Structure 1
Amino acid sequence: MLTVLNFKNLVDFKLQLQFLHDLNTATIQTELLVAPTLPLANDFNNFQIISQNLTIQERTVGEISPSVLSHLNIKTSFIGHLERRKSLNEGLLIVRNRLANALQHHILPIISVGQYSNLDLVTEELDILLRNQNIQAPIIIAYENLASTEMGRALYSIDEIRDVHNRIRSFMSAHYPHIKYRLILGGHMDEVGSPIANALGYDGVLIGDRYQNFKAFSPVLKVLNNLSR
């Protein structure tokens, strides 16, 4: 099972470094990707370091370029994380540009969708991002219930996330059958939600900054390890 652990800017960076150190000495049987707020060299043994963001193709200031990720041996990046899109008013055309930059430089994109809970809008959002993109390699699609992420509690029902899973799977089969992808679920994922996501057919989970140290994360990791056996 794929597990994406995404630290946010309010987590002290020293705590992040300690968390990474503890993860690197733990027993990890899930496929773990970790996104610290500042990209670090991807040279850990137990997991991969990924990037929280990637710049657009045009010249910019203060954003992460593909060459920086290449230098750090980072091969995966979020593209248009929902919280970033909402707080910075990043529209889908900007996210499309980021995705094109990732694809051009052979960076595995984690494409975030779910800004709107309506199922038709979820697939429309995904279609806008994927349409006419040169996608030759696998991608990751992350559906997040944005309200759950912002409020810090699960605001969705099992029926809702089942319907989202089935709709995205059907949409991809019908419109983008050539694209290989993995679908992961975010929005207040924990030791209870992760097995539910797995049972519904999701390929993994996206976990935010509610766990700020290894001790707090350990119960979730235990469940994830068992799901990956």
Structure 2
Amino acid sequence: MKRRVRLTIDRRVARTALAALAMLHLLVLACGALVAMRPREPEEATPIAAPLVAATTAVPPSALPLPLPPLASQTRTAPFMRAAFDAQPPAATFSAALARPLFVARRTSTRTARFAPLIDAAAREHDLPPLLVTAIARVESDFDPYEVSNKGARGLLQVMPETGARFGVHPSLLFDPERNLAAGTAYLAWLMDRYRGNLDLALAAYNAGEGAVDNYRGIPPYRETQNYVRKVRAELRNLEWRASAE
């Protein structure tokens, strides 16, 4: 009888111990889950190196083209423009596409066919070389009469609305190729007179405004403007090469 009672007690103790172990195991699991759910402290961010400022905002003075002294004659005729251009050789660096005369000549010939008579008439109206106006149209809009720049310039020669109004063309008419060419060539001729035939300065002012050219007393240190002058000159050279080969 005593042995049965002892066995019964031992079994109860064993069950109690097992139950306690099970509860302890569950408690450990619960604590682990709570630890995993606790929000971690934010890791210290690795400092990011400040980006290097490219030399697009400031061009060293040595890299700027020097404007030529004013030419003696102020008569704006085609021979005079030719002499002014020859006196200022184009920059040596320009895009690879513009350096391929045959490729550019073929593409330009196709795209300018419909505008050639208008360009010729507008250029001659203001005593400008038609090839110069063609080169500007090529660089400005790629001969798209509906082109609009992010600054609001419109049409073939990318004339700003205020510039168009200044030369007698309403902004709403700048998408008309004939009116656009009339305003753009009038402005270019005015710039050529202002800078006494200096083609580089006239082109720089056409791109950046005469105020910028006057402030810097030369081509402004803007990469866009300097590239613009190079591109127009290169395109003009290619057009002249094509004209001489015909």
TM-score in terms of structure 2 length: 0.24
Which has more strand, going by share of residues?
1
Larger radius of gyration: 2
TM-score in terms of structure 1 length: 0.26
Which has more helix, going by share of residues?
2
